[in-house]
Structure 1
Amino acid sequence: MPCAAQSLLPYGLGMGILIPGPAPTVVGVVSFAVVFVCMAKVLLPRINKVLGERKDAIEGQTERAEQLAAEADEVLAKYREELAEARHEAARLRQRALEEGAQLIAEIRAAGLREREAMIVEAQARLAADRVIAETELRGDIVSLATELAGRVVGEALESVANSEIVDRFFSDLDARSVAGLQ
C-alpha cells in the first residue's frame, strides 16, 4: 500500500503536498521575477513619486505654516509697538491738556484778581466821592440847623454868623479830631 499511497500524491515521487516539484517551482520563480520586475520598474517609481509629492506638500505646508507663524509674530510685534506708541501719545496729550488747563486756570485767576482789584479801586473812589458829597451836604445842613438853633436860643436871626470864621474854625477842629481818631 505504500506504493498505492505514493501514487495518489499529486506530484509524485513521494514528496508530499507541501514540497512542489521542479516545474511548478520554476514557473513560480519566473512569475515572481516578472511581477517583481514590473513592480520595481513601473509601480515603485510611481509610488515613490506620489510619496515624494506628498512629502513635499507636507513639508511645504509646514514651511508655509512656519512662515505664517513668523508673519503673525511680526504683525503682533508691530501691533504691540503701535499700541505702546499710542499709549505714549495719549499720555503725552493728557499731560499737555493738564498743563494747558492749569495755565488757563492761572490766567483766569489772574484776570479775576485784576478785575477784583479794579472793582475795589473803583468802589473806593465812589465811596470817597460819595463821602465828600455827603460831608459837603451835611456841613451845609449842620450850619443852617446850628444857625437856626442858635437864633432860637438867642432870640435873634443869626444869618451873618453862618458865613463867619467861627463855622470854618469849628469844621477845621472837627476834621483834625477825625484824622487824629483814625490814626
Structure 2
Amino acid sequence: MSNIAVIAAAEGEDINPLVPATYDIVWSLVCVAVIGFFFWKYILPKFQQVLADRSDQIEGGIKRAEEAQTEAKAALEQYRAQLADARTEAAAIREDARTQGQQIINEMKVQAQEESDRIVAAGSSQLAAQRQQIVAELRSDLGRTAVDLAEKVIGESLADDVKRAGTIDRFLSELDTVSADSANGK
C-alpha cells in the first residue's frame, strides 16, 4: 500500500486510503452478484420452503390444538351431563330404596301385629280352656270334699252315685248363686 500511495503522490492525485480502487469495486460487485444469484436461485427458495413448512406445522398445530380443546370442552360438558344424570339417578335409587325400606318395615309391623294378635288370641283361648278345665276339676274336687264333709256331718254314707251327683250339682248351683250375688254387691 505504501508503494501505491507513493506512486499516486508522484502523479499528483489525492488518494483516499479508505476508498478502494475501482477494479476492486468492480470485481467485488461481480462476486456479490454471482453469489446473490446463486443465493436467490437455490438457497432462498429452500429457505422459504422450510419457513412455509414450519409455518404450516405451527398453524396446523394451533388448529389441531384448538380442535382438541373444542373436543375436550365437548367431552367435559358431556361428562358433566352424565354426572348430573348419574346423581339424579342415584337420588332416585336412594328414594326408591327408602320407600321400599319403609314399605318393608310397615309390612313387617303389620305381620308382627297379626302374629301378636294371633298369639294373644291363642293364649286367650288356651287360658279359657284351662280355666274351664280347672273349674271342672275344682267342681269335682269340691263336690267330693262336700260329700265327704256331708257324710261326716250326717253320719250316713252317701255312696250312691246318683245321690252324690244330685247333691253335688245342687251344692254347686247354690255356690254359683252365692258367687253371683257377692259379685253384684248384694
TM-score for both structures, normalised by structure 2: 0.81
CA distance in structure 2 between the aligned counterparts of 1:83 and 1:131, rounded to whole angstroms: 70
Match of 2:173 in 1: 169
| 1:101-136 Cα distance to aligned partner (Å, 9 max, x none) | 110111011011101101111111111111112111
Shift of 1:60: 0.9
**1:153 equivalent in alignment to 2:157:** no
Moved more, 54-63 or 74-83: 74-83
Looking at both structures, which has the greater relative contact order when contacts are Cα pairs under 8 Å and sequence separation is at least 6? 2
CA distance in structure 1 between the aligned counterparts of 2:50 and 2:38, rounded to whole angstroms: 17
Question: Residue 75 and residue 178 in structure 1: after superposition, are their counterparts in 2 closer, same or farther (change >3 A)?
Answer: farther
CA distance in structure 1 between the aligned counterparts of 2:73 and 2:147, rounded to whole angstroms: 108
Q: How high is the sequence identity, in percent, across the aligned residues? A: 33
Counting only pairs closer than 5 Å after superposition, residues 27-66 of structure 1 correspond to structure 2 as 27-66=27-66
Output the amino acid matched with 1:173.
T
Question: Residue 157 and residue 4 in structure 1: after superposition, are their counterparts in 2 closer, same or farther (change >3 A)?
Answer: closer
**1:105 equivalent in alignment to 2:101:** no
CA distance in structure 1 between the aligned counterparts of 2:113 and 2:56, rounded to whole angstroms: 84
Counting only pairs closer than 5 Å after superposition, residues 59-138 of structure 1 correspond to structure 2 as 59-138=59-138
| 1:134-173 Cα distance to aligned partner (Å, 9 max, x none) | 1112112112211211221232234536514742531331
- The total of aligned residue pairs comes to 177
2:5 touches 2:15 (CA, 8 Å); kept in 1?
no
Question: Residue 108 and residue 50 in structure 1: after superposition, are their counterparts in 2 closer, same or farther (change >3 A)?
Answer: same
Output the amino acid matched with 2:21.
G
Please provide the CA RMSD for this pair.
Answer: 2.7
CA distance in structure 2 between the aligned counterparts of 1:114 and 1:121, rounded to whole angstroms: 10
Moved more, 31-40 or 121-130: 31-40
1:147 touches 1:158 (CA, 8 Å); kept in 2?
yes
- Structure 1 unaligned runs (5+)? none
Runs of 4+ in 1 over 6 A off after TM superposition: none
TM-score for both structures, normalised by structure 1: 0.82
- Structure 2 unaligned runs (5+)? none
1:147 touches 1:162 (CA, 8 Å); kept in 2?
no
Match of 1:180 in 2: 184
